[in-house]
Amino acid sequence: MPIPRILLSIVCAAALLLLPVVWTQWLETRGVMESPPPAASRDASPTLRVAVMVHPTVYYEDPNGGTAGLEYDLISAFAQTRRMSLAVKPFASIVAARQALAAGDVDVVAMGVTADAVGPGEIATRARYHESGWVLLNSPQKFTPRSLAEIKPKEVTVSARLFAHPKFTELRRRNPGIAFIEDARNDDESLITAVGDDEVQYALLEDDTFEASRHFHYDAQRAFVVQPPSPRVWLFASQAHALRDEANAFLTRITRDGQITRVLDRYFGFPMKVKGGDIEVFTERVNTVLPRYRNLFQQAQENYGIEWRLLAAVAYQESHWQVDATSETGVRGIMQITEDTAKRYSVDRLDPRSSILGGARYLAELKRDGLAARIQEPDKTWLALAAYNIGLGHVENARILTQRAKKNPDAWPDVRRHLPLLIKPEVAAQFKQGPCRCGMPVEYVESVRAYYDVLLRLEAPYQPRLRAR
């Protein structure tokens, strides 16, 4: 029986989550930690009071009980660099948060406000760390308009985050024949679901919100861009120039040195390589097929330290959880293991337990022994997945190309752009492995990430019981 869509809507109230524990470690070790500035330049308070809202791109509780969100990750890293504690204050709306800022109840509003919406009595960061436009969504089963003039009926439900935006006031003035209705749910995830369920014909919301949620809303699609992208900013009270300037310096620095790319990759980095129909089939098989193998994936996690839901995502991408799957290249089993790898690990490829344990062991060894120890998570996992698919040699060649291009060979977002170059004979001739269809591992990794993201919300983490001595 397929998982009910309403359940998907509930469990998908959070936005994308990728390796939360590892991500926290990365923020601590790579989060541009530096010596604190002189006391004279710091805010007198050791606590940074931040206004946020529960939203896929701002702040939410992830499925493992941690805290995530693009704005939350960035403001947390900023507070760490200033050696300040963080006091997060959730608000129901941006309007309420701005009132709290004006009253002095918070120091900064980190809600993804855009630069074209800074109001009187406020100052904002100038660094272009992220930007987003507005899009119109509709159901792919219905007529897809290419402009507001083509929509029928003339009614659009508007995200509550946009309804008070100055640009929306202008948009409504230019389109007097359209009834724009504020979303009473005040929940963009539910609004996207309502489009897919045909409860709402058209919805207007921010593009990055849809990007962060689209794995779960396969019945809604982007019809066209209504408003071009505008930079996101943090808001400060007009007198807080010192704190604003420190925040701007922080955002500018992580943007220039490329670390912002890794932050954005967590939420928006993997393109939609999985079609809506595929996600629908996947969620149905999570309910009907995965229970047969859940214990085996969890045993593999216990033995080799690879998170069980990631292993399940890999197995689904490899074989759709079919134990007798055989590819045209001769790889077999639920984990699609090659004959050489099967011999090396004494794997019976058609036995699901043997295949899952063997695949987990191979992936664990790729991470531990195949890739440089200095590579941080989650990049190491994504690079190991690419190596699982195409071979470690080709991944190492792509890392060399990345380094030659003066990009970071330890960062998946950079290596991902150079892997496809290995299909060119003149490029592959530089390496003994020869050419490869290395666009495939890029799609492979991103598809695994999509399935993993869904599993993070549908399946609980595995916590092994303590064993008796």
Q: What is the pLDDT of residue 322?
A: 94
Q: How many CB atoms lie within 10 A of CB 220?
A: 24
The first and second tokens of residue 135, run together, are 């899009």
Beta strand ranges found along 45-107 (DSSP E):
47-52, 60-61, 67-68, 85-90
93, 210 contact by CB (below 8 A):
no
Task: Tell me which of 246, 318, 396, 446 is the catalytic residue.
Answer: 318
Distance CA 52, CA 64 (A): 20
Give the three-state DSSP class for 237. Answer: strand
Q: What is the pLDDT of residue 218?
A: 66
382, 270 contact by CB (below 8 A):
no
pLDDT tens for each residue of 37-73: 443 344 445 899 999 999 989 998 876 678 889 999 9
Distance CA 301, CA 172 (A): 53
Q: How many CB atoms lie within 10 A of CB 348?
A: 14
What CA–CA distances, in Å, run from 295 to 2, 164, 283?
21, 50, 18
Average pLDDT across the chain, whole number: 86
pLDDT beneath 50, residues of the chain: 1-44, 467-469
- Does residue 318 carry a catalytic annotation? yes
pLDDT tens for each residue of 178-214: 999 999 988 998 999 899 888 999 999 999 999 887 7
Largest CA distance in the chain: 74
Q: What is the pLDDT of residue 36?
A: 42
Please give the model's pTM, rounded to 2 decimal places. Answer: 0.75
Distance CA 111, CA 116 (A): 14
Distance CA 419, CA 398 (A): 5
Structural domains of the chain sorted by starting position, each given as residue range(s) with its CATH number in brackets:
5-130+231-268 (3.40.190.10), 132-228 (3.40.190.10), 276-458 (1.10.530.10)
